[in-house]
Chains A and B, each alone.
Chain A
Amino acid sequence: MNWLKLARNLTLQVEPTNACNLDCKICMRRNFQRPVRFLPLDEFTKILASGNFGYVGLHGWGESLLNQQLFDMVEYAEAKGVSTNLTTNATLLEDNMDGILKSGLREIAFGIYEKELFTKVIPQIERLIEEKGRRNFNRPKTYLDITIYEGNLEQITELVRLASDMGIDAVVLHRLFNVYKVDPSVKYITAGEEQELFARLRQLASSLKLELYLPHKHSYPCRIVNRSIFVTVEGKVSPCTYLPDVYLGDALEQGVDKVMQSRVYKDFIKNMKNHPICSRCQW
């Protein structure tokens, strides 16, 4: 039995590209000035080999399905015993059906924040679920990943119901990250509204027999930093996707493990509570 393997529950989050075919108002990608890049397979394999990871999340500040080598990365990671997942805006599922189903991808999440956008991609998600059933595959597990904010508060119950009707396996909700205030119209919901929403959703999920994941109480060090490490498309290591300017080292030159053992990483974890961004994050 491989004891080391059992202890691996760290997720490596790698950004396959920072190119995107959408311009969402809740997305902080709007703030970036980074040149567009696509991560090549050889750099991905080098990054993956530089640490002991249980999972790899193939997404960042771009639409992952735009990277032509994405499924080669999935196949490579799965062959190495690392479970793969990705979050997509679901607009390119139709063109990538074979890759999604044949590569061995474990989990796919459809990231949405409003009903209007979701309605446009419903046919593609339904086709994927139908094709998965037709081929008798149990992978990938499908998730609807909803960002909660003031503008969709009244839509969330309906979205969860819709996900269940469509045969999506699970629903994940997470709080808005709005520290950079990308769009002034995008706002958090209040703690009272959140409590009410969660109670309603728990009841609904139980009646629909739907797997539901609600956000946890925020803590320091937070869940993201405790469970994952982020590598940008340029190979820079950051403790979190929401900290695009906090680079702790280079994944291609130093390796992820080395960066995570460094003093600079340990100091970041120690002082996270006082960090100007982390101290205001509610995720």
Chain B
Amino acid sequence: MCAPITVTTGGAISGCTGACQVMPQILASLGIAGVLLWNFRGVIRKRLSFKKVAS
């Protein structure tokens, strides 16, 4: 026969040809953003509290 249908459709089961095909990449980006926020939480908190005082 031939190559699996998922090779052609990119695993687009149930008609998914849009964002769900790049879901792993989207979730990975969100993960990286989360780690960055956690890493710089001190700086972010300081900035936010500074703004509060200033206003």
* Cβ < 8 Å to A, chain B residues 1-27: 1-11, 13-15, 17, 23-24, 27
Say whether, besides A6-B27, A227-B6, A228-B6, A59 and B1 are in contact (CB < 8 Å). yes
Kindly list chain A residues whose C-beta atoms are within 8 Å of the C-beta of B24: 6-7, 9
Query: By the criterion CB–CB under 8 Å, are A60 and B1 in contact?
Result: yes
- Describe B's contact surface by its main secondary structure: helix
Instruction: List 14 additional contacts besides A60-B1, A172-B5; criterion CB under 8 Å.
Output: A9-B24, A55-B4, A59-B4, A85-B4, A89-B1, A106-B13, A141-B13, A211-B17, A213-B8, A213-B9, A215-B8, A223-B3, A241-B1, A241-B3
Query: Closest approach, in angstroms, between the C-beta of B5 and any C-beta of chain A?
Result: 5
- Give complex CA distance A64, B4 in Å: 13
A253 CB to nearest chain B CB (Å): 24
Which residues of chain B are within 8 angstroms of A3 by Cβ–Cβ distance? 27
19 CB-based A-B contacts, threshold 8 Å: A6-B23, A11-B7, A54-B11, A55-B4, A57-B3, A59-B1, A60-B1, A61-B1, A62-B1, A83-B6, A83-B11, A87-B4, A87-B5, A111-B1, A143-B5, A170-B15, A213-B8, A228-B3, A228-B6
* Interface positions of A from 251 to 277, Cβ below 8 Å from B: none
Q: How far is the CA of A224 from the CA of B14 in the complex (A)?
A: 21
Number of interface residues of B (CB under 8 A): 18
B2 and A174 within 8 A (CB): yes
Q: Which of A9, A174, A240 is close to B11, meaning CB atoms less than 8 Å apart? A: A9
Question: Are A109 and B5 interface neighbours, CB within 8 A?
Answer: yes
Q: Known: A87-B1, A145-B2, A241-B1. Contact between A224 and B7, CB under 8 A? A: yes
CB distance from B2 to the nearest CB of A (A): 6
Contact A227 B7 (CB under 8 A): yes
Interface contacts (Cβ under 8 Å), in number, total 91
Assess A145 versus B5: contact at CB under 8 Å? Given A6-B23, A6-B27, A7-B24: yes
Q: Is A178 an interface residue (CB 8 A)?
A: no
Which chain B residues border A169 with CB–CB below 8 Å?
15
* B7-A83 in contact (CB<8A): no
Interface size on A, residues (CB 8 A): 45
- Nearest Cβ distance between residue A229 and chain B, in whole angstroms? 10
Contact with B along A7-39 (1 / 0, CB 8 A): 101010100000000000001000000000000
Q: Chain A 167-199 against B: per-residue CB contact (8 Å), 1 yes, 0 no?
A: 001101010010000000000000000000000
Q: Which residues of B contact A228 (CB under 8 A)?
A: 3-4, 6-7
The complex places the Cα of A263 from the Cα of B22 at a distance, in Å, of 29
A204-227 to B contact mask, C-beta < 8 Å, 1/0: 000000010101000000011001
Residues of A with C-beta under 8 A to B2: 87, 111, 145, 147, 174, 177, 241
Inter-subunit contact A227/B10 (CB<8 Å): yes
Q: Is A76 an interface residue (CB 8 A)?
A: no
Query: Which residue in chain B gives the minimum CB-CB distance to A13?
Result: B4
Greatest chain A CB density within 10 A among B8, B15, B24 is at B8
Q: Report yes or no: A85 in contact with B5, Cβ–Cβ below 8 A.
A: yes
A118 interface residue per 8 A CB criterion:
no
Q: Which residue of A lies closest to B31 (CB)?
A: A3
